[in-house]
Each structure stands twice: as C-alpha cells, then as structure tokens.
C-alpha cells in the first residue's frame, strides 16, 4: 500500500497535483513562516551566538595565555633549580667540611678535658693515699705505744718482786734527799 492510497482511505477522495511537492498554498505559507522564523533567529539568536562564541574564544585565549605564562615560569623555576642544584652540591661540601672541623675541635677538646680530669683524679688519688698512709702511721704508732705500755707494765710487774720494789723506792728517796 502506498501513501496515496492511505490518504484516500483516511479522508475520502484526496488527490495532489504531484506526488512529491505539496500544494502551492502550503509552499507559500510554509515559506513565509520559515522566513519569519529564520529572520527572528537572525535578529535575536545570531548576536547571542556570536557573543557566546566571542566570549568562549576570549576565555580559551586567556587560558592559553595563562598556560603559556605558567609554562615560562615553570621553565624559569626549573632553570633556577638546576642552577641551585650546583649551589646545593657546593653548600653540601662546605657544610660537611664545617662539620668535620667542628668534630675535630670537639674531639680535641674532649681529649684535653679527659686528660685534665685524669690528672686531677691521679692527684686526688695520690693525696688520698698520702693521707691514708699518714693516718695508718699514726694509728700504728699509737697502737705500738699502747701495746708497749701494756707490755712494760706486765714486764715490770713480773720482774719486780716486793723486796726489789722496796729497794727501788728507798734508793729513790735517798737520792732525792741527798740531792737537796
């Protein structure tokens, strides 16, 4: 079934002058309506479209300029970092040399301090030994004196009997009396 037979069946008898083209009145009214729509689009939509395209172009250009300036600043920063990297190596060597010098100074100071402390400890030890030796000598002398006193008392008591003691006393008294 073709289109013509469908139209005839739906509305009764209907015939067109050409199977592809519409009627002349439809062409005229459709053409005028199309001209009105295209005119309104040209007058109202085209300026908005041009404005939005110009804004979009401007925004894209601004983004491109920003990206270019960021790229240039990044390249400058990379060059500065590369330059600074050489400076960093020199600074690192300088810091290591300073650290080695400080370590040597601290080591020498430590050795000198330890030597001085050892000498002080030796002097104190010798002084302590001398003091202890003196105390021991004094203690030994006092112990010897005490022991000799006890020994003399025992020896004298053992050696002297009553008669010898009486003779010694009388001899002493007579010596004292004669000396006067």
The whole-number pLDDT of residue 87 equals: 75
**Dihedral pair phi/psi, residue 119, rounded to 5°:** -65, -40
| Whole-number Å distance between alpha carbons of 42 and 48 | 10
The whole-number pLDDT of residue 14 equals: 59
Q: What CA–CA distances, in Å, run from 122 to 52, 126, 129, 130?
A: 97, 6, 10, 12
Ramachandran category for residue 12: left, alpha or beta (phi over 0 → left; psi -120 to 50 → alpha): left
Pick from 128, 132, 56, 14: nearest CA to 6 = 14
80-114: per-residue pLDDT in tens? Answer: 888 877 777 778 888 899 999 999 999 999 999 99
The whole-number pLDDT of residue 16 equals: 65
The whole-number pLDDT of residue 69 equals: 94
Q: How many domains does the chain have?
A: 1
Position 43 pLDDT exceeds 90: yes
The whole-number pLDDT of residue 80 equals: 86
User: Structure pTM?
Assistant: 0.34
Domain span holding position 81: 3-179
Angle at 123 between CA 119 and CA 124, to 5 degrees: 115
Q: Please, where are the H alpha helices in the chain?
A: 3-11, 24-40, 46-159, 162-179
Cα 132 to chain centroid distance, Å, stands at 54
127-136: per-residue pLDDT in tens? Answer: 989 888 889 8
């Amino acid at each position: 079934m073709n289109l013509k037979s469908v139209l005839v069946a739906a509305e009764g008898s209907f015939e067109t002058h050409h199977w592809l083209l519409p009627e002349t009145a439809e062409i005229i009214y459709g053409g005028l309506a199309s001209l009105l729509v295209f005119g309104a689009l040209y007058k109202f939509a085209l300026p908005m479209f041009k404005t939005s395209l110009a804004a979009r172009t401007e925004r894209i250009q601004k983004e491109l300029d920003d990206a270019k300036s960021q790229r240039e600043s990044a390249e400058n920063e990379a060059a500065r970092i590369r330059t600074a990297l050489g400076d960093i190596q020199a600074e690192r060597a300088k810091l290591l040399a300073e650290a080695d010098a400080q370590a040597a100074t601290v080591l020498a100071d430590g050795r000198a301090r330890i030597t001085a402390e050892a000498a002080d400890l030796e002097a104190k030890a010798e002084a302590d030994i001398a003091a202890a030796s003196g105390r021991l000598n004094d203690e030994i002398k006092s112990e010897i004196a005490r022991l000799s006193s006890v020994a003399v008392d025992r020896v004298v008591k053992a050696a002297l009997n009553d008669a010898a003691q009486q003779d010694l006393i009388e001899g002493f008294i007579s010596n004292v009396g004669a000396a006067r």
